[in-house]
Structure 1
Amino acid sequence: MTFRPGTPPPAPPAPPTGGNAAAAAPLTDGQWHRLHPLTPLLKGGIFLIVVLGYVLNSLRDQLVEFFIPGDQQEDGDPVRYVYEHGVVGWVLLGIVVLLLVLIGLFYLSWRMHEFRVTGEIVEVRSGVLFRNHRKARLDRIQGINIQRPLVPRVFGTAKLEIAQAGNDANVQLAYLGVRAADDLRQRILVLASGAKDDDGHGGPSRQSHGALQDRVDEMFSPELDPVAVHATRIVKVRPGRLIASMLLSGTTLFLLLVIAGMIVSVALTGEFAVLFGLFPAVLGAGGYYVRKFSRSLQYTIAETRDGIRIGFGLVSTSNETLPPGRIHAVSVAQPLLWRPFGWWDIRIN
């Protein structure tokens, strides 16, 4: 895993609010901390704004008629109509009020979403009208996963998920600053192993070069930084081998048989209807290959002092650390078409 702790301050800091401040402060002090300030926006706020903009654009004629009764030209532009009737100020005021309401709701949601890490459990409480309280015991942690979808990755945030034994028992912290997520994952693993949490534990600190430069460095940095991880062994899946393994898979063989069957059917019957019937299935298979290729790029497996670290992804990245003693089974298989190349498929439970 990548551990980039910040420089600890000389005095106990105030509860962090995400970003760089959260990365520099100890997040395992047993106190309640808040997530990144952009969390409400990243968890659905952007989608809400897009949908709201689409609805307002679709109903703009009705809205203008509601606020400014009167006849309008059928082909008239509502924006020009508002301008000509001198009500631009009222419209702008309505937009400002709407934005303030959204910001207020986002702020309230962020204020009511807190987490804390003690020597025994990780607690998360959230919700405004309906409160939700989840706990994860450190001795039941099976792994810690950090996901960085594309949009949160642009804003320098990540989602930390704590997997523990039991159905639907995972605890999510979405979203934290990238440095805060790496730091917190490291500290939780230290506590789960029974060691004492130490601010100096971990790899070398990473200096900040400004918000914009930090975002650029995070976007184009390698998925696994061997210097920071101190890994004793790193296994990487090369892009060429990845492409070849996908082409020599059972799925590809099945698709080739389907395509051959379609060609034979058209040649014998002269009917092209079967092509249109199977075309959606071919498109679905193409999407499957694109998703698998994108997710499997930069695939690395590293043996670290905290356990086995698995990372993958290009546009949206994900990495998981499996603590020692949490691996219950290992499955090793070799598909028929892979045997000449000596490739293996390994699955960890």
Structure 2
Amino acid sequence: MTPALKTWIILLAIVGALLAQSQQLFEGVVERALTGSGGEETDWILARPWVLAAILGGLVVTIGVIVLLNWLVWRVMGYRIDDDAVYLRKGVLSKQLRKARLDRVQSIDISQPLVPRLFGLAALKFDVAGGEGSSVDIEYLKRGRAEALRDEMLARVRSARDATRTEQAPSPDPTGPAGAGESEQPAHTASAADLAPVGPAPTASAGADRAGAEAVRRNVVARRVGSNLGTRLLAAIDSTSEDVVSDIGHTLTDVLAPYRVTARAEHDGRILRVPAHRVLLAALLSTGTLFGVLIGLVVLVGLVVLAAFGIWEAVTGILFGIIPAIAAVATMAKGALDEANFSVRITPDGLSVTHGLFTTTRKIIPLQRIQAVKLSQPLLWRLTGWWRVEYNIAGQKSDQLTSSTVLLPVGDIDQTLMMLGLVLPDPRVPAGVSGRALITSAMLARKSPDPEAPAAEGLFVDQAPASRWLDWMTWNRNAWAVTGTMLVIRSGWTTRAVECVPHARVQSMKLRSGPLQRALGLAEVELHSTEGPAKPVLRHQAAERAEEFFFTHADTTRRARAELDA
């Protein structure tokens, strides 16, 4: 069924064209049977049975060729998995053999488009670090087989990465630390080589030794400054899986203490569910929908006025102009349907996200690969207090920057802070300010109800007064704050936005000042992250402050990255 399911729209179009061409003949046959007269063409065809036999034979041959081609395509398809890679073979005339190394696999997702889902089938997608088209997709497997294979492959991917990490790690110095020089490894860190057993070991205990070494390594990484809080939760799940999953709500609450979130989890580890009706309502309240409704009202009034004056040529032109608007609405509706029934579950490999009303997708978000996070709130969402959370992730391809970067399609402040806290490090703010106060102050500015909001607001640096000539609607809201582990930027007026960039994840920075900015004594600093929705920029700062931040933050990010990678 796989070739047919991948080309079912083409097959449906062929069948529809054949039926359309045969419609007149069928109508003539029915009319002749009922009235005794079916028209000259029908009489001519019925008088020559071989013509009718040729038509029916052509249909049979066409269907047979389609079935044969599908069988040939399926027959050469196959996949193979070993300890190093997964291989996919396909193609009849143009043959392909694709390989994905397990230690290079970024994520393994399960996708169920609508038609395969009706037959209980699913696709397994191996996302590999590389350019566009580098993923390996196994289409299609039975759903149960796909889920079992994904679990098995996630375990193999972990083993392959552990083996690669052990081979690449430096050998431990048997003499121990020699001093406090900058080139020496810090005393509080441990490498995979330090944790691996030395010398021959019994085969029966080798797997247990590696598992124990990996558990220790995860805890070491989770405790490093700059690691996101979710890694601490995953380290706890890895070491005591049954205990943590059964009481994961308390564990989440403890891990997310800086953000003061009281979390709870269901029996299967799900920590978040967003019902379909909330996603659809949020789409209706989005800024795009608002402008769409306004444009629709303007067009409707214009049609009425033109019709009243009898200018029908202009009416026809406007009707054709509505087509792009209808396409935009359809695209927005598709996005809402793709994000419906959104749920998040904790697994030892990361956050397992499931979404989609008709096409269901299940994927794993590796927490250590998240580079930046963006919160956004359209104008009408202020009535409900909803926010949206998206992220930038390392290795993300440009053709996947849609629903695949959504961490929370729509949720209240507590849900937003829970998801935000899992992918960000401990903010390490000054005494008297919590991480929750910092983020809510960034979200709501001076309207935050948090009692620590005034102290948190003191951490933010506003734009220069001269910037009001360039950002006359947003200059009073735009601000930024630097904590011990990340940079927080707030911006926007019609659509509020908050961008959080951990220091250790900054790729590079650029200081720039255009002619108009120089005339006003302004400059801005652009922070480069991986491709994604978050594009952090400190806009229209005083030139001296922007230059000072540029060099100071460059040193901050360098030291944070060195500490995280130690």
TM-score, normalisation: structure 1: 0.65
One-letter amino acid of the counterpart of residue 296, structure 1: E
Following TM superposition, by how much is the alpha carbon of 1:109 offset from its aligned partner in structure 2, in angstroms? 1.6
Contact 2:343 2:355 in 1 (8 A): yes
**% same residue:** 34
Deviations 1:132-168 (A, max 9, x none): 1111122222222222122111222112211111112
Q: In 2, distance between residues paired with 1:96 and 1:266?
A: 51
Gaps of 5+ in 1: 1-37, 63-71, 197-201, 204-225
Contact 1:60 1:78 in 2 (8 A): no
Q: In 1, distance between residues paired with 2:324 and 2:100?
A: 41
Partner of 2:285: 248
Alignment of 1:296-307 (within 5 A): 296-307=339-350
The one of 95, 98, 102 equivalent to 1:134 is 98
Contact 1:333 1:344 in 2 (8 A): yes
Q: In 1, distance between residues paired with 2:296 and 2:15?
A: 44
Alignment of 1:228-239 (within 5 A): 230-231=268-269, 233-239=270-276
Matched, 1:189 2:154: yes
Matched, 1:348 2:391: yes
Partner of 2:335: 292
CA RMSD of aligned residues (A): 3.6
The one of 52, 63, 66 equivalent to 1:102 is 66
Secondary structure, counterpart of 1:193 in structure 2:
helix
The one of 337, 357, 363 equivalent to 1:314 is 357
Contact 2:274 2:343 in 1 (8 A): yes
Partner of 1:113: 77
Contact 2:45 2:51 in 1 (8 A): no
Alignment of 1:1-349 (within 5 A): 38-44=1-7, 47-48=10-11, 50-51=13-14, 54-55=17-18, 58=21, 74-76=40-42, 80-81=46-47, 85=49, 98-167=62-131, 168-194=133-159, 230-231=268-269, 233-262=270-299, 273=314, 275-349=318-392
Contact 1:142 1:323 in 2 (8 A): yes
One-letter amino acid of the counterpart of residue 6, structure 2: K
Select the structure with the greater relative contact order (CA < 8 A; seq sep ≥ 6).
Answer: 1
Gaps of 5+ in 2: 26-37, 161-206, 208-240, 243-265, 393-566
Following TM superposition, by how much is the alpha carbon of 1:315 offset from its aligned partner in structure 2, in angstroms? 1.9
Secondary structure, counterpart of 1:105 in structure 2:
helix
Q: Cα gap change, 1:193/1:81 in structure 2, threshold over 3 Å: closer, same or farther? A: farther
Contact 1:161 1:170 in 2 (8 A): yes
Following TM superposition, by how much is the alpha carbon of 1:86 offset from its aligned partner in structure 2, in angstroms? 7.0
TM-score, normalisation: structure 2: 0.42
Secondary structure, counterpart of 2:99 in structure 1:
strand
Following TM superposition, by how much is the alpha carbon of 1:51 offset from its aligned partner in structure 2, in angstroms? 0.8
Deviations 1:165-215 (A, max 9, x none): 11121111111111111111111111111187xxxxx99xxxxxxxxxxxx
Q: Cα gap change, 1:77/1:145 in structure 2, threshold over 3 Å: closer, same or farther? A: farther
Deviations 1:36-71 (A, max 9, x none): xx1122122663365156247627999xxxxxxxxx
Q: Cα gap change, 1:323/1:57 in structure 2, threshold over 3 Å: closer, same or farther? A: same
Secondary structure, counterpart of 2:130 in structure 1:
coil
Aligned length: 271
Higher helix share: 2
Q: In 2, distance between residues paired with 1:105 and 1:285?
A: 37
Following TM superposition, by how much is the alpha carbon of 1:80 offset from its aligned partner in structure 2, in angstroms? 4.2
